[in-house]
């Protein structure tokens, strides 16, 4: 997508977290959402977010070693409702794949009732590898291991 910029910060960046929370509340959260959102960003190590024309239009909360020990785990991914299916989520996944090569896997859990998310993960090369208390577990095996520094990379 032309003009889309991807950045990485930490959950301690309160301004970015607040803007991401607004997207989350508008799109996805219906029952006790603010509490769950707060849990997710506090458990995360990184916040990957996208800007288009100066506005945040999507984000991911990421942690390390949640499923296999040598994985980068997608705690949550969200794109503004009116921007969904425009390639923003795929651009974030592509960025993550390109900058997570010292991890063996990129993993995510998906609600088994969320067919849109299941299709999104499959379209982006993730395979279902199991289930757990959080839902269906999907993994993407990175191609190789390279040194990385998430904070120096810009998309």
Tens place of pLDDT for every residue, the chain, 155 residues? 789 999 998 888 888 888 777 776 666 554 444 446 666 667 788 999 999 999 999 999 999 988 888 899 998 898 998 899 999 999 999 999 999 888 999 999 998 998 999 999 999 999 999 999 888 999 999 865 434 444 343 43
Place of tokens 């960046």: 13
Q: Indicate which CATH number applies to the domain containing 93.
A: 3.40.630.30
State the pLDDT at residue 91: 97
C-alpha pair distances (Å), 33 with each of 15, 24, 111: 19, 8, 15
Domain count, the chain: 1
β-bridge pairing 71-79 and 105-110: parallel
Place of tokens 């003009």: 3
State the pLDDT at residue 155: 33
What is the spatial distance between Cα 62 and Cα 46, in angstroms, rounded to a whole number?
5
Instruction: Give the 3-state secondary structure percentages of the chain, helix then strand then coil, rounded to 5.
Output: 35, 35, 35
Q: How many helices (H) and strands (E) does the chain have?
A: 4, 7
State the pLDDT at residue 106: 95
The pair of structure tokens assigned to 155 is 């998309």
Residue 125 three-state SS: coil
Helix extents (H) in the chain: 14-27, 33-43, 88-98, 115-123
Q: Which domain holds residue 90?
A: 4-152
């Amino acid at each position: 997508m032309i003009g889309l910029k991807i950045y990485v910060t930490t959950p301690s960046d309160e301004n970015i977290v607040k803007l991401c929370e607004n997207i989350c509340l508008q799109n996805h959260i219906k029952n006790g959402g603010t509490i769950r959102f707060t849990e997710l960003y506090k458990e995360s190590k990184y916040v990957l977010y996208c800007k288009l024309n100066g506005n945040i239009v999507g984000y991911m909360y990421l942690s390390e070693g949640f499923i296999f020990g040598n994985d980068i785990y997608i705690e949550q991914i969200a794109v503004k409702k009116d921007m969904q299916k425009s390639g923003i989520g795929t651009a974030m996944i592509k960025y993550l794949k390109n900058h997570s090569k010292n991890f063996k896997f990129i993993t995510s859990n998906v609600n088994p009732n969320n067919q849109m998310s299941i299709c999104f993960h499959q379209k982006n090369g993730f395979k279902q590898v199991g289930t757990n208390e959080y839902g269906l577990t999907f993994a993407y095996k990175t191609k190789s291991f390279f040194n990385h520094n998430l904070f120096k990379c810009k998309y």
